[in-house]
Structures are given as structure tokens and as C-alpha cells.
Structure 1
């Protein structure tokens, strides 16, 4: 290859497969990124093979049974299919990361939620319980992994699941505003704001106009940032629950399951379940 070739995930996989048995395929984290999925970075190229696993620095090889994986070719490289990749990662990812992967694969146009649910129903491999539950929680039109995490914090706390990407339209039918997560019947929005909302003048100006419109129509918005998810998820849930009550929603007793996936930092609120 030419020295100026961009070192993409697909190129790294192609190079790694030269050191592996012929029936090998890029899989797991590597396949996920090739298909446009979002997974945690672990520094390895992941390969699955039915033959002898190569012991090479930088390659993590997985042994599979002959005929045990569905594969396709992309740019001449053998890669596990998006659905197979989702199933395989059920043994490596937690529930929230697996939902993030599913949402991102759907956004990339590689799978549908229904395809994941169908495949998970008959999947008998390691992590099948996590796979089945995660598949049922994958949604369309999720714009970012942090939106997936925010939605999962809400759902795992036992709160009502919000609508994803609700649209407000102009009289002619074109989209005027989109809300990441919302409860349209109660005019309540839960929205993740990344740094681009503060650093982009265009984004900032658009946000101001949209929030002035929301104020004029009686909508309430709860802004969630990265620290709310990773550092103080309990406080974030308090704010969301309080906003729900203010808008007349019935707020159930919170489940404690959220703590298993969003532990937060010491000093986060403890009075939540």
C-alpha cells in the first residue's frame, strides 16, 4: 500500500487478516467501527477465526465454530455482518454500551431495530440475556451516543421512556425543530448538550431562538451535560423527576438498576433508589 494511505479501521483489519488463517474475519469492536458503530476504544484489531489464533501484538483473536458467524465483504475485506457484530459484542459490552452500539448502527443505516430483535430472539451465545434486552431498547433516529446514554439513564431508573427526535413542523410540513428526548403530551424536553453548543456561534444562535419559542409555548427543557451522566447521574435524575412532576406527569418510584450502569462519583445524591 502507498505510504500516504489513510490508516482506517478497514485498512488495519485488512493488514491484520494477512497474519491470520484464511477463514478469518474482522469482528467485534473492529467490525462495529467499520460499519459505523460506536464502541469503546480498546486499542486492538479484533479478528474471529475457526483456525489457530495468531499471537500477535495488537491483534485480539476470537475462536469461533465453523459456520458459526455470518460474514460479508467490504472493500475486499471479510467482516462479520452488522447484526452478527451486535450479537458477538453481547459478551464484551455492558447493557448501555450495547444499546449505544445498536442505536449507532441503526443511524448508520446498517440495521433496523426489528432485525436486531429478531436475531437476538434466537441467539444462544454468551451474553444472550444482555443482547435480547439491549436489542429491545434500540431506537431509530438517535443522533449521538450521549443521547443514547441519557435515554438509558432515564429508562433504567424506571421513569417513562421519552420519545426520540420529536419534530415540530412549520405549517407547510417541513421540520422546524427537533427535540432529542421529549414527552410531547406534557411539553417536557430532556436534551443532551455537548461542547459544540457552546463553541459554535451558529449552534448557539439556533439554540437561543428555539428556546425562546419553547418558552412562548410553555415547553420545559432539562439540559444534560457529560458530567451529569458520568459524575452526577443521581442529581440528573432528581432534576428530570422534578421537571416531570412540575409538568403534571406521574413519577413512579425509581428503580435502583440505574446505579449498576451509572455509578457516578462519591458525593452524588444518595436518597434516590
Structure 2
């Protein structure tokens, strides 16, 4: 990001009124999750205002922006608004859609590929990761309704289908892009969409906040990133919370990056076994609905 910021600062010297960063450049400046395989400094995206010719130069892709109110400033830089950036990113989604667990596995692994790409192509899963991140922002807050209004304005322009699907698939209270990928891969593998970020209480005492769960079955999934392994206090807290959940009758599955990116068949087997131990066929359960208030699950030990 430091290199991108320095490059943007230099290019902004050539900006005229109304010019702004857009597409993946704006997304990176906003701090939205993008695949690590994208070389953000190889291609910069510049949006120009109504009536302006989208001039291009080496390493710069120009775009025409039909509305002046689609621009704001973030940390001193002119960028397209979060809603407009979301619309623009959908135009970069490749045609192949998320149609099954294999495609989900390919999309999830793609985010860790070391090779860099200057095409800035995205998958549908990438778009949902961005959508979750936008909806989950605290500042500036962008409620789902604002994205829905932006989509209505967008109409049938390029990416509209992907945007509609992403908005339907997004969930609030997601803590990381890997949690989004895990959720989508579970759904693509035939499991009902789990509840995201619910607070579990033992009567009136807070116990834990599983990343994903099926409360009716008392099955929880925790995705642990690297900090859960390197931060000693985090590890101790994790163990204590999981033991509390298990005391309340919960089954807790802990997943790491390799479980999602490299051992997905074995991972789905673990989840399927948890459902089987509860005597439930996952195909018979409905998806958890999206909610605007964090779910609260109260247990009585």
C-alpha cells in the first residue's frame, strides 16, 4: 500500500477537477479486500467526470463517470464512493460464476496465488468479500439499503447480475475475507448458510462469538488466522471460550487456512460428520436469514 500511495500521489499532480481513483485502485485505497494476486501498482484506474474524455497513459486505465456525486475524499485522496466502487468492481468479475464446491475451492485458492496479474480480474467470491467488507464497515457506514439504491441506479449495466447475487449472498458481522470464503464454500458444498457472528450467552453471561454457527444444532465453526497461533493471550482466550461452548453442549470445529484452501474435501467431511452426529441431513435445513441486528443466542446450562 505504501508503494501504491506514493504512485497515486505522483499521478494526482496531473489530475484535473473531478478526477478520482476508481475500480481496484479505489478499493485498495478504501482498504477493501482484494486478491493478493493483483498487482495494484501495474495498473491504476482513474475515473473522470461527465463529459470528459477518459485519457489513458502507460499503466493508467481511464473511465468515464456519469455522476459527479460519485466522488468523495478518503484520507486526503479523491476516490469514488464506496457504493460507486462496488458498482465498478462488478464490471471486473469474470463470467465464470460460483456454481459448486469445486469452483469455490478454485476461487478461494486464487487469492493466495503468488503470481501477480495486471488485468485486475475478480471472481464472484472476491466480489462478495468486498460486499461483506462494505456492509460491515463502521466508518463510513454503508448500509445494505445504500448498496441496493446504487444497484437500482446501475440498472442493467455491466456487472448488474453479479451485483444482485453478491448483495443476496452478503452477510453482516463478518470479521475477515476468509470467513466470507469459508461461508460461501460451505453453501456451495450443500450446507445451509450458517448464522454469522452470533453472540452466545449462558443465561445473562456472554460466552463466545463463533464466526459461523447453526444454533439449532449447537454446531460452531471458528476460522483462526495466523494471529490466533502467534498471540499467546489470544490462544488462551480461544481455548477458554471453546471449552465454555462445549460445556453448553456445542460442537466446535476449528479451521485454519490449509483446511479451507488445500484440504476442502476433508473439511467438508468434518462438517458433515458434525451434522450426522446430530442426526440431521444438512439438505433439510434452510439458510439462516441475513439480519441487521447481531444475533443473540441464550443457553440455559
Would the TM-score normalized by the shorter structure come out above 0.5? yes
Alpha-carbon distance in 2 for matches of 1:171, 1:65: 53
Partner of 2:27: 32
Partner of 1:267: none
Q: Does the 8 Å CA contact 1:72/1:79 hold for their aligned counterparts?
A: yes
After superposing the two structures, state which structure 1 stretch, 131-140 or 67-76, moved more.
67-76
1:132 is the counterpart of 2:164: yes
Q: Could you state the TM-score of these two structures normalised by the residue count of structure 1?
A: 0.80
How many residues in Structure 1 have an aligned counterpart in Structure 2?
245
Structure with the bigger RCO (C-alpha within 8 Å, sep 6+) is: 2
Q: Does the 8 Å CA contact 2:207/2:241 hold for their aligned counterparts?
A: no
User: How far is 1:120 from its partner?
Assistant: 2.4
Alpha-carbon distance in 2 for matches of 1:213, 1:64: 55
User: How far is 1:46 from its partner?
Assistant: 2.3
Equivalences for residues 23-102 of structure 1 within 5 A: 23-40=18-35, 41-44=38-41, 45-49=44-48, 50-57=52-59, 60-67=60-67, 70-92=70-92, 93-102=122-131
Alpha-carbon distance in 1 for matches of 2:5, 2:136: 19
Please, which of 9, 12, 15 is the counterpart of residue 10 of structure 2? 15
User: How far is 1:172 from its partner?
Assistant: 4.6
1:107 is the counterpart of 2:107: no
Partner of 1:153: 185
Equivalences for residues 246-261 of structure 1 within 5 A: 246-252=277-283
Q: Does the 8 Å CA contact 2:54/2:62 hold for their aligned counterparts?
A: no
| Root-mean-square deviation over aligned CA pairs | 2.5
Q: Does the 8 Å CA contact 1:20/1:54 hold for their aligned counterparts?
A: no
Q: Could you state the TM-score of these two structures normalised by the residue count of structure 2?
A: 0.73
User: How far is 1:204 from its partner?
Assistant: 1.1
The structure-2 alpha-carbon separation of the partners of 1:108 and 1:33, relative to structure 1 and needing over 3 Å to count, comes to farther
Alpha-carbon distance in 2 for matches of 1:7, 1:118: 33
Q: Structure 2, unaligned stretches of length 5 or more?
A: 93-121, 285-301
